[in-house]
Amino acid sequence: MSISLEGLRYEALEAQLAESGVNPVHAKPLFSAVQRRLLRNDLELAEGILPPLQRWLASEQAVKPCAMELVDDTASSDGLTRKYLLRLHDGTEVESVQMGFPGRYTACLSSQVGCAMGCVFCATGQMGFSRHLSSGEIVAQAHHVERELRRTQGDTLRNIVMMGMGEPLHNFEPTMEALDIITDDRGLNIGPARVAISTVGYIPGIQKLTRHPKRYSLAVSLHGASDEERGKLIPINKRWPLAELLEACREYSAIKRARVFFAWTLIGGVNDSDDHAYRLAALLKGMDAHVNLIPLNPTEGFDGTMPTEERSRAFQLIIQDAGIPSTIRQRRGIDVSAGCGQLKAKRIKCVRP
């Protein structure tokens, strides 16, 4: 997997410089130029970049910035969501999403080209798996969104969600490296509490996340209250069934002293009945949990339908009456296929902002 400047933790950058015979003291201005000022080209001309570092940056030994090209930029009709199609060094493509909320902006980042999990209602899962992203390719997505926000809104990123293309815990080390860089106070300085990692239930990754030094929010996709139901929607449930998944979530919550967020995509006539709601409430009883209810977003490869607002609300009331807090997720960016489960590195004709 390729190494890029964006994907080097501060300590790794110091080590790279020392290995090349450059005093590691030069790591601080270079890290700041890359991670805080978001410079990509002509780094050797940046403020604080002294001659020894200038020579290293111009040399063949130097680690180069991530090769990432903007292919397409589409905005939702309400102007609150923008989707970026980005081409990587090998010609593969990923999508990132910028979402505007009152008082804050959030970036939804991808961790893989495609996805190996195969969730039947997810456009990325329908693609199949191509490859993992490097830490630099993940960080570069955040940089792109941050750069665009500064340019168009005069604002900055406040939140990161690893809910784009791919299963981030299946690509654990590069994802953690990227998030540790993004949360470094010498860089973008986005606090760990404002970073969420979504998983379909990849238990080895949840166990590693439980022991990771930083505490990032954990969001787990459920979508079914029994192994039979969940297995029809999420194939890896056959490998890591619900009982094992919930045990891993309880361990995470206890060790990290953190609430676990559970996602439940509401599919009309499939998992949106009162009975499903009662069984979900029983499943999560006693846990420090919050349920995000997500009305199904359309994808070409799945013919399910979203429930009515009344049905969604009735489902929510049942789990809330059982003492489990919940939110019906606002549907965003659906008209440009930027909603949850819709990312597929596909170019869409749309009015630009």
Residue 337 has pLDDT above 90, yes or no: no
pLDDT of residue 340: 56
For residue 295, which of 277, 312, 276 has the smallest C-alpha distance? 312
pLDDT of residue 79: 79
More confident residue, 95 or 334: 95
Digit-coded pLDDT (tens) for 163-220: 999 999 999 999 999 999 999 999 999 999 999 999 999 999 999 999 999 999 999 9
Q: What's the number of CA atoms in the CB half-sphere (13 Å) around residue 176?
A: 15
pLDDT of residue 283: 97
Known catalytic residues? 95, 340
In order of their start, the domains of the chain are 5-58 (no CATH), 68-336 (3.20.20.70)
Task: Give me the long-range contacts of 26-31 (CB less than 8 A, separation at least 24).
Answer: 26/50, 26/52, 26/53, 26/56, 28/186, 29/53, 30/5, 30/57, 31/186, 31/187
The two tokens of residue 244 are: 């094992």
* Residue 180 neighbours by CB distance under 10 Å: 20
Residue 123 has pLDDT above 50, yes or no: yes
pTM of the predicted model as reported, rounded to 2 decimal places: 0.91
Residue 322 CA to residue 278 CA, distance in Å, equals: 8
